[in-house]
């Protein structure tokens, strides 16, 4: 008999259709509540503490156990998710990149999301990125455009090839300074809100995090700057992880601690560092149902909210 666990991954949960960013990819609050109703009927929603207990053999999980995880520390999670979890008596695990909150910055991936959410066609955005690269070619060492298209232009699980190419260029494929410069231009052009003000609106406050902590929600680490840890040296990974640990301590987050790898990026060095610092669970983005008897508990798979939504549609049909 295996200890199976369905871990579900959420990001934006907000009213989207009538918002300033109708093109934002996320989950409408009304659909999130329907998902909770489905989970209450068909699953047993458990906590991180329950899962850690099961991995240590101290207890067993109930049948059809599910864990709800919320990435990136959005204010959505306090404003919309937290009240509904309380309404249905469920626990949630919230994975926070502490740097953007502490420094009033906006993560690069979020800049991409909201540029896209403002209605910019992806083809136009890709052309602008390549045009910007040509304009900056004397400043940065870029490879030929054909190289990037061939290496990074494949479709993802939920995005087409063009969208994935833009994301990869602006997340990790280009030099870091060039990515920031190009993204800042595009963000100013299409979003037009000062980064510090946008950050304060987009992310949780430390007071909100403390409120959720005090109400029994799990607060986990999502790194410090939401960096692709597997692209960093051991020393730079250590600094990212240790800075996040500093905030867990400062916020008096009780153990057991868990870690969610930003972008799903990790390597053997990452796993060694998080284990050394006392994290008991780790989550990536590989889709699947976790088996606590077989899987490495520091690299548990997760399903996306879109996967759950598809299951609900099939059940209703």
Q: Helix (H, G, I), strand (E, B), or coil: what is residue 266?
A: coil
19 — pLDDT class (breaks 50, 70, 90): confident
Q: How many CB atoms lie within 10 A of CB 83?
A: 10
Rounded to 5°, the CA angle 109-118-16 comes to: 90
User: What integer is the mean pLDDT of 128-134?
Assistant: 97
Q: What is the pLDDT of residue 56?
A: 76
Query: Could you give all domains of the chain from N- to C-terminal order, each with its CATH number?
Result: 4-105+206-316 (3.20.20.370), 119-190 (no CATH)
How far is CA 207 from each of CA 85, 110, 126, rounded to the nearest angstrom? 18, 22, 38
Asked if 183 and 108 count as a contact pair (C-beta separation under 8 A), the reply is yes
Q: What is the pLDDT of residue 214?
A: 98
Q: Where are the alpha helices (DSSP H) in 215-317?
A: 234-250, 268-276, 305-316
Q: What is the pLDDT of residue 57?
A: 74
pLDDT at position 42 over 70: yes
Q: What is the pLDDT of residue 135?
A: 97
As a whole number of angstroms, the distance between CA 253 and CA 273 comes to 19
Asked if 6 and 65 count as a contact pair (C-beta separation under 8 A), the reply is yes
Q: What is the pLDDT of residue 157?
A: 87
Asked if 311 and 295 count as a contact pair (C-beta separation under 8 A), the reply is no
Which tens digits make up the pLDDT trace of 66-105?
A: 999 999 999 999 999 999 999 999 999 999 999 999 999 9
Which tens digits make up the pLDDT trace of 141-164?
A: 999 999 999 999 999 888 899 999
Which tens digits make up the pLDDT trace of 171-212?
A: 999 999 999 999 999 999 999 999 999 999 999 999 999 999
pTM of the model: 0.95
pLDDT at position 1 over 60: no
Rounded to 5°, the CA angle 307-41-78 comes to: 65
Q: What is the pLDDT of residue 314?
A: 85
255, burial (CB in 10 Å: exposed 0-12, middle 13-18, buried 19+): exposed
18 — pLDDT class (breaks 50, 70, 90): confident
Q: What is the pLDDT of residue 217?
A: 98
Which tens digits make up the pLDDT trace of 214-237?
A: 999 999 999 999 999 999 999 999
Q: What is the pLDDT of residue 148?
A: 97
pLDDT at position 62 over 70: yes
256 — pLDDT class (breaks 50, 70, 90): very high
Q: What is the pLDDT of residue 17?
A: 87
Tokens 């999980």 map to which residue? 61
299 — pLDDT class (breaks 50, 70, 90): very high
Please give the structure tokens belonging to residue 124. 């136009």
Bigger pLDDT: 158 or 238? 238
């Amino acid at each position: 008999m295996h200890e199976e666990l369905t871990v579900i991954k959420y990001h934006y949960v907000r009213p989207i259709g009538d918002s300033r960013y109708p093109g934002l990819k996320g989950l409408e609050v009304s659909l999130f509540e329907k998902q909770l109703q489905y989970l209450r009927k068909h699953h047993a929603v458990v906590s991180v503490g329950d899962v850690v207990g099961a991995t240590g053999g101290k207890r067993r999980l109930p049948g059809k156990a599910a864990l709800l995880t919320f990435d990136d520390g959005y204010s959505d999670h306090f404003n919309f998710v937290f009240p509904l979890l309380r309404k249905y008596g469920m626990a949630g695990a919230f994975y926070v990149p502490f740097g953007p909150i502490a420094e009033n910055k906006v993560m690069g991936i979020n800049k991409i999301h909201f540029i896209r959410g403002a209605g910019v066609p992806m083809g136009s955005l890709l052309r602008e990125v390549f045009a910007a690269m040509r304009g900056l070619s004397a400043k940065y060492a870029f490879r030929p455009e054909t190289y990037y298209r061939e290496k990074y232009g494949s479709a993802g699980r939920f995005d087409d090839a063009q969208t994935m190419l833009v994301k990869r260029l602006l997340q990790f494929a280009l030099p870091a300074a060039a990515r920031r410069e190009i993204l800042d231009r595009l963000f100013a052009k299409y979003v037009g809100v000062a980064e510090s003000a946008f950050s304060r609106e987009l992310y949780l406050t430390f007071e909100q995090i403390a409120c959720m902590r005090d109400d029994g929600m799990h607060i986990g680490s999502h790194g410090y700057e939401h960096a692709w840890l597997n692209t960093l040296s051991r020393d730079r990974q250590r600094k990212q992880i240790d800075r996040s640990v500093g905030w867990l301590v400062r916020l008096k987050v009780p153990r057991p601690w868990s870690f969610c790898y930003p972008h799903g990026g990790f390597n053997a060095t990452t796993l060694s560092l998080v284990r050394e610092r006392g994290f008991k669970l780790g989550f990536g983005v590989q889709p699947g149902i976790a088996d606590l008897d077989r899987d490495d508990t520091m690299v548990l798979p997760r399903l996306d909210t879109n996967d759950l939504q598809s299951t609900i549609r099939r059940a209703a049909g």
